[in-house]
Amino acid sequence: MWTDLTALIQIHDRALWHYRQAIAELKVEDYPGAQIQIQQALALDGRQAIFYTLAGQISALQGEWQLAITTWKQAQRLDPTNPIALQCLQLLSAVAQQN
């Protein structure tokens, strides 16, 4: 018995498109635009650790540290081996201990 996965694949593809658009916006330092795109990606597929990792980076670049921490922690919950989220959280922890 075959299940038609076309709709799910299309949703995933749209989520990846928004993720790539967020990266493009980030490269030109359009942080609000990047934030909109990554939120669209997350709305379509909230199970991708890489989406949360990028969302955390965008939040940090906008000075939204608490939101960055929250999204990096979500990335870690989805993928405990996520190196970027882990490194960002460790760096923030080290900075907090110095202050």
- Return the CATH number at 50: 1.25.40.10
Residue 2 lies in a domain: no
The residue segments making up the domain with residue 26 are 9-98
Domain count, the chain: 1
Task: State the Cα–Cα distance between residues 80 and 76, nearest whole angstrom.
Answer: 5
How much is the pTM? 0.90
CA end-to-end distance (rounded Å), the chain: 60
- Mean pLDDT in runs of 10 for the chain (99 residues)? 82 97 98 98 97 97 95 97 93 81
Residue 3 lies in a domain: no
Task: State the Cα–Cα distance between residues 41 and 51, nearest whole angstrom.
Answer: 7
Give the H or E element holding residue 13.
helix 6-27
Residue 1 lies in a domain: no
Check residue 26 and give its pLDDT. Answer: 98
